[in-house]
Amino acid sequence: KQVIFSGIQPTGVPHLGNYLGALQQWVRLQNSAAPSTKLLYSVVDLHAITVQQDPKQLRQWRREVLATLIAIGLNPDRSILFYQSSVQAHAELMWILSCTASMGYLSRMTQWKSKLSLKDDASPLDTSSKAKLKLGLFSYPVLQAADIMVHRATHVPVGEDQSQHLEFARECVTNFNHAYGPHLVEPTTITSPAKRVMSLQDARQKMSKSHPDPRSRILLTDTPNEIKRKVMSALTDSTNAVSYDPENRPGVSNLLELLSHLDESGRTPSELGSVYSGLSLKDFKTILSDTLSESLSTFRDQYHKIMAEDEGRYLDHVAIKGAKKARESAEETMVLVREAIGF
């Protein structure tokens, strides 16, 4: 049986990178799935607290992210939408997997190293820097593995930045099954054509919710004016012409890639580079910002409608219903796991 699982952190309003890299694929999978396929999409709030969050803000972001999932087209009657912390089995399985997970493997994770600002060849950290590092941030991929395995997910649609974590999740399955028998399922990673959407302010960094410069990302809720301001101030280079050359012109190439992901006729970035080669950067950016505003307008309307309806606690209702179904789904696995371990 096919089971699709993925998650998004409630660390802010989702941006275009989240959408093109993952969320859009979640909707496609929902809409093309066979009736027997189980789909679970989680707002992974346990992951969000690996960095300290303001409780009021976190509660608000959870609602906003849940509203986003519905506004992009996920149907709570078809896909199970839930807050991760409502299903305790995620944390329980994480502990169990921790007992067979390799520290050495975890310490090689690129995301862990980048949070430490470590390069591959960096020297070891001193004692005071080590004291500031939190265990949760280090063991985050084990929780991610538990999220996937607790629902026996066969397919996990994520952005390319998560590939290494999925590889680790498969390693967790192997370790557990080797120790206790073949109870956990090995998941397959599904990546979107937009594998990695880059920052508007630095085309070598991925677009991210937590980057301090808000101009580096387009939020799905941005108004046409905000989109225009951000696109116009996107960092390009001193050549006032359009061409696709990711090596030498990363800024403008990133913008062409964005346009290509939104292009209804499916033109590649390099084809679009030729189509717009006669334009100034300013005119090209205007076309991109108009296309973005247009593409996000239906989402924006839906999102505001859902948030307005929330006076009637619509989102709470969705979350309660989703948590109940997700708990049932997780419990099916946990019964097998507890039995296999000897509990």
The nearer residue to ligand AQP, 153 or 337, going by C-beta atoms, is: 153
Looking at 1, 38, 113, 115, which residue is catalytic? Answer: 115
Active site residue 130: no
CB of 49 to ligand AQP, least distance (A): 11
Looking at 38, 209, 228, 285, which residue is catalytic? Answer: 209
CB of 52 to ligand AQP, least distance (A): 13
Q: Do 253 and 245 touch, CB atoms closer than 8 A? A: yes
The nearer residue to ligand AQP, 21 or 273, going by C-beta atoms, is: 21
Cβ neighbours of residue 127 under 8 Å, at least 6 residues apart? none
Looking at 113, 130, 134, 206, which residue is catalytic? Answer: 206
The nearer residue to ligand AQP, 127 or 210, going by C-beta atoms, is: 210
CB of 159 to ligand AQP, least distance (A): 2
Q: Do 26 and 161 touch, CB atoms closer than 8 A? A: no
Active site residue 321: no
The nearer residue to ligand AQP, 53 or 177, going by C-beta atoms, is: 53
What is the b/e burial string over 224-259, where b = at least 16 CB atoms within 10 angstroms of the residue's CB?
eebbbebbeebebeeeeebebeeeebbbbbbbbbbb
CB of 242 to ligand AQP, least distance (A): 22
Active site residue 206: yes
CB of 199 to ligand AQP, least distance (A): 8
The nearer residue to ligand AQP, 13 or 337, going by C-beta atoms, is: 13
Q: Do 268 and 256 touch, CB atoms closer than 8 A? A: no
The nearer residue to ligand AQP, 47 or 175, going by C-beta atoms, is: 47
Task: State how far the Cα of 252 lies from the Cα of 246, in Å rounded to an integer.
Answer: 8
Per CB under 6 A, residues contacting ligand AQP are 8-9, 11, 17-18, 21-22, 158-159, 161-162, 196-197, 206-210
Beta bridge partners of 219: 15
Give the residue numbers annotated as catalytic, written as ranges: 115, 206, 209
